[in-house]
Amino acid sequence: MSSIKLEKLEKWYGKSVHAVRGIDLDIADGEFMAFLGPSGCGKSSTMRIIAGLEEISSGNLYFDKKIVNDVSPKDRGVAMAFETYALYPTLNTYENLAFPLRAAGWNQADIDKRVREIAGILEITDLLDKMPTGMSSGQAQKVGLARALTRKPNVFVLDEPISHLDTRQRSRMRAYLKRLHIELNHTMIYVTHDQEEAMAMADRITVMRDGILVQTGTPEEIYNTPVNLFVAGFVGEPAMNFLDCDYRHEDGKDALIHHNISIPLPDQYKDLVKNGKMPAKVVLGIRPFYVSVNTKKDAHHVIPAEVFVVEPMGDTKVFSAKLNDIRFQAVTNPDYRIAPKENVWLGFDPEHILLFDAQSEMALK
C-alpha cells in the first residue's frame, strides 16, 4: 500500500483546456478516497495522472514521499477497474485473472495460488471456468475487480465501476467494495459523479469543480458543513433547499427576510452580527429532512406554501411545495396525509439552517 501526495498538480490538454488546476491533496496509506463531481470537473484526469496514464503539465505526484512524475504506469503498482469490465471474451475467468501475472513473468504455481486466493476473497471461485459472455453484469464486475487485484497493487483506482448496474446491484456492490477495502486495506481512489456512492463508501471525499478541489472531508463534514453553495447543493438527496434572503435588524430582533416571510436569525449566527460580519444578502440553506410540515400555522410553522406534488418513497414521503417563486422540499413520515394544491405551513429546524454569503457563495461560519 502507498500514501499519495498531489502537490500543485496541473493538467492542460493543448492550450485551451485546463482540466486540473493546482490541486494539493494528501491521501493516507490505506485510505478510501472518493473524487466526486459533475462531468468535466477534472476528477478522471486527476485519477489518470495518479495511474500514470496522463502526463503532468506541472506540479508533483508522490507515492510514499517519493516523486513518481516520470515513473511508468507498470512500475507504480496501480491497479484499475473501469465501468466497462474489459474482460478478454475468449478467456474464462481463471485465465482472465492469470493474464496479468503471466505478463509479469510469474511461474504457474504462484499464478495458481494467487488466482485462487483472490477468487476466494471475492467469492467467485465457482466462476473460474465460466466465460465472460455467460456472466451477469454483477459477476463480470467482480471478475474485473479480481483481475485488478491479482498483482497485489499499492493503489487501487476505480473509475465509476458500478454506474451501469441496476439499483439493487449498485447497493450490493457498494457494500461489497467497502468490505473489500476493510479486509485488504488497499489505498483506494474511487471516481464518481454519484454523491450517494461517495457518501456510502469513502473515508473522505474530495469534491471537484472546473478542475479545482473545492472541499475535502469526511462524508459527515461534506454533508453537514459544506464550504460553499456548490457543495451544499451537489451533495445530499433530496437536494438542499435554498432561499435568497436579506438580513435585517428590526424591532430589536435579527431576521432573515424572503419577500414577505420573516425567519428569525439562528443563534449560531448571532456572533457574526456582533462582530459586524453579517452580509446584507445571504442564501439560507436547509435540507428537506429538517423542514417540517403542518396544515395549520403555529409558533414553529410560519412559512406559507402550497403542496405541488407528493412522492411516496416507502419509508418516507417527499413533499414538493411552492414557496413564492421557488420549489421547496420536505421529508415526512410515510403516514402523513396531504394532497397536491393543499395549503400548508413550513417550519425550519434553526440548528440545521446554513447561511451562505450571496455574493461569494461561501458558507458563513
pLDDT exceeds 90 at position 4: yes
Q: Would you say domain 31-40+72-206+214-234 falls under CATH 3.40.50.300?
A: yes
**pLDDT digits 0-9 by tens, 66-123:** 999 999 988 898 988 876 667 899 999 999 999 989 988 999 999 999 999 889 887 8
Which residues make Cβ contacts (< 8 Å) with residue 330, sequence separation at least 6?
A: 288, 291, 292, 293, 318, 319, 321, 346
> What pLDDT is stored for residue 180 in this prediction?
81
With a pLDDT cut of 90, the percent of the chain lying above it is 71
Label residues 176-189 b or e (16+ Cβ within 10 Å = b): bbbebbeebebbbb
Question: In this model, does residue 1 exceed pLDDT 90?
Answer: no
The grid cell for 100 is: 496479468
Q: What local confidence, expressed as pLDDT, does residue 112 receive?
A: 95
Reading across the β-sheet that carries 326-332, which strands appear in turn? Answer: 291-294, 343-348, 303-312, 317-323, 326-332
Task: State the fold for domain 241-357.
Answer: OB fold (Dihydrolipoamide Acetyltransferase, E2P) (2.40.50)
> Under a CB-based contact definition with an 8 Å cutoff, are residues 101 and 109 in contact?
no
**211 contact partners, CB below 8 Å, separation of at least 6:** 11, 18, 19, 20, 21, 41, 42, 45
CA distance 282 to 121: 52
Average pLDDT, the chain: 92
What sections of 5-133 are H helices per DSSP?
43-51, 93-103, 108-121
Query: Is there a contact between 232 and 354 (Cβ–Cβ < 8 Å)?
Result: yes
pLDDT at position 85, please?
A: 67
pLDDT tens digits along 317-358: 999 999 888 899 999 998 888 889 999 999 999 999 999 999
Q: Model pTM?
A: 0.88
Contact 293, 336 (CB under 8 A): yes
What is the pLDDT, as a whole number, of residue 210? 96
The set of cell numbers assigned to 201 is: 463508501
Residue 83: what pLDDT?
67
Which is more confident, 325 or 9?
9
31-40+72-206+214-234 and 241-357, same CATH topology: no
Per the CB < 8 A criterion, the answer to whether 23 and 209 are in contact is: no
Give the mean model confidence (pLDDT) for residues 4-18. 96
Amino acid at 267: D
Q: Are 273 and 282 in contact (CB under 8 A)?
A: no
Closest to 357 (Cα-Cα) out of 303, 249, 285, 258: 285
* pLDDT tens for each residue of 224-278: 999 999 999 999 999 999 999 999 998 889 999 999 899 999 999 999 999 999 9
Give the pLDDT confidence score for residue 27 in this predicted structure. Answer: 98
CA-closest candidate to residue 178, choices 164, 193, 162, 154 = 162
What span, in angstroms and rounded, lies between the C-alpha atoms of 247 and 210? 31
Percent of the chain with pLDDT over 70: 99
Does 17 have pLDDT greater than 80? yes
Over range 183-206, report the average pLDDT.
92
CB 144 within 8 A of CB 80: no
Q: What angle do CA 10, 35, 32 make, to 5 degrees?
A: 120
Q: pLDDT at position 211, please?
A: 96
Judged against a pLDDT cut of 90, whether residue 144 lies above it is answered with no
Lowest-confidence region among 127-136, 170-179, 193-202: 170-179
Q: What is the pLDDT of residues 286-296, one digit of tens each?
A: 999 999 999 99
What Å distances lie between residue 283 and 140, 151, 240, 250, 359, CA to CA?
46, 50, 12, 19, 9
pLDDT given for residue 179 in this prediction: 83
Cell matching residue 90: 475468449
The residue that leads in pLDDT, 1 or 259, is 259
According to the model, what pLDDT value does residue 136 have?
86
Domain boundaries, the chain: 31-40+72-206+214-234, 241-357
